[in-house]
Structure 1
Amino acid sequence: MKYLIIGLGHYGGLLAEELTALGHEVVGVDKDELHVDRVKDKMATSFVLDATDDLALSVLPVKNVDLVIVAIGDNFGASVRIVSLLKKNKAKHIFARAVDDVHRAVLEAFSIDRILTPEQDAARELAQSLDLSSEVESFQVDESNYVFKFRLPKKLEGYHANDLNLETEFGLKIISLVRGNVALNCLGISVVERNVANEFPEDYELSLNDMLVCYGPYSRFTQFWKSVR
């Protein structure tokens, strides 16, 4: 894919590097020449210009990229003006970074594809990882609902999957079971082979090698998790 990143500070610069490393074509823009010089060798093309200027913005390939990312966070006015100009110039898709609730609310008025809140997201992810432990992986679906994959706690060993009553007691829906079977590899070493089962017999007994995948509110999952830990 082809990306246009406006703002090559710490966040935008790192984003440009990572996308390039993944094989994408990245065009980077910043009015600070030092920011551009720092990452220009990691991008396909780079520009030193003020993207808040309508005439300057017109030289950028706004309509020829798959996504424009406005990575500016510390200059509220510049961020909002650039998003406005991108909408005027009919950019296909726009992501923009917001640093606080007011910034987010203003960007929402433009009906862009996604508002990025990297600082809040990083803090939330760290808090959740500390709260749930390394035995749980989570993916946020919307404001309150997540998909959770977790190793079976000792307390649930021997239970039948349908006896857990997660939906009734905690509002969590089991999506699939990841069965863990102990086998010997080519070196004769015991390893756990995992197979996903979206349907499983009612009398299937859960083992400590199994994992479950469920969906529901984060707050209800933490209640469940604390009850079985």
Structure 2
Amino acid sequence: MKYIVIGLGNYGSVLAEELTSLGHEVIGVDQDAQNVDRMKDKVATAYVVDATDEAALTVLPLQTVDVVIVAIGENFGASVRVVSLLKKNKVKHIYARALDDIHKSVLEAFSIDRVLTPEKDAACMLVRLLELNIEVESFQIDEEHFVFKFGIPRKLVGCQVNDLKEDEDFNLKLLALVRGKMVKNSLGISVLEKEVDNAFPEDYTLQAEDRLVCYGLYKDFVKFWKSIGK
């Protein structure tokens, strides 16, 4: 995919580099020549452009990219003006960064595709990490619902899937089983081989190397996780 990232500060530069590392074409934009110079060899193209200037903004290929990301955060006025100009130029897909709830509310009024709240998201992710520990990976679907992948706690090894009662007691939907098995590779070294199974018997006996994937409310999963032990 092709992206324009407007604002090459700490957040925008990392975003641009990560997208590039994944094979996407990234055009970086900033009014600060030093920021652009720092990024010019790390992205496909980098422009010194004041994106709050409507005439200057027209030099960018706004209609030929998949997404324009406004990574400006600290300058509230500049962020809002750039988003306004992008909407005026009928850019199809716009993501924009917000630093607080007021900023987020103003950006939401433009009906853009997504408002990014990296600082808030990072704090929430840390809280979840501390609360659930590293045995749980989560993917957020909306404000309350998540998909969770978690390792089998020691006390559940040898139990059957139907012993969990995740649906009956915690309103969680079990989506998949990731079976883990230690095998020897071509060099005779033991490695963990994983196989995802979306249809498995309820009397399947859980192994230490397995992982389970479920879906539900975050608060319900916390209750479930605490009930099965860590």
**TM-score calculated relative to the size of structure 2:** 0.93
For residues 187 and 28 of structure 1, do their structure 2 counterparts lie closer, same or farther at Cα, with a shift above 3 Å needed?
Answer: closer
SS at match of 1:72: coil
1:115-135 residue CA offsets vs partner (Å, 9 max, x unmatched): 111111111112211211111
Q: What percent of counterpart residues are identical?
A: 64
Which ranges of structure 2 fall in alignment gaps of 5 or more residues? Answer: none
Q: Give the drift of 1:187.
A: 4.2
RMSD, matched Cα:
1.6
- What's the counterpart of residue 177 of structure 2? 177
Aligned to 1:58: 58
Distance 1:23 1:192 in 2: 28
The count of aligned residue pairs is 229
2:182 equivalent to 1:201: no
SS of alignment partner, residue 23 of structure 2: coil
Alignment of 1:75-224 (within 5 A): 75-224=75-224
Q: Deviations over 1:113-169 (max 9, x none)?
A: 111111111111122112111111111111111111111112222322123210111
Q: How far off its partner does 1:182 sit?
A: 3.6
| Most deviating of 103-112 and 131-140 | 131-140
Q: Against the structure 1 CA distance between its residues 179 and 94, is the aligned structure 2 distance closer, same or farther, given a 3 Å change threshold?
A: same
Q: Which residue of 2 aligns with 1:11?
A: 11
Structure 2 CA distance, aligned partners of 1:88 and 1:198?
Answer: 46
SS at 1:137 equivalent: strand
Structure 1: segments with no counterpart, 5+ residues: none
Counterparts in 2 of 1:22 and 1:161: CA distance versus 1, 3 Å: same
> What's the CA shift for 1:19?
2.0
CA 1:48–1:190 in 2, change beyond 3 Å: closer, same or farther?
A: closer
TM-score after normalising by structure 1: 0.93
1:162-205 deviation digits (Å, cap 9, x = unpaired): 23210111111100112223433344444433222211123222
CA distance in 1, matches of 2:24, 2:184: 40
Q: Distance in 2 between matches of 1:138 and 1:161?
A: 20
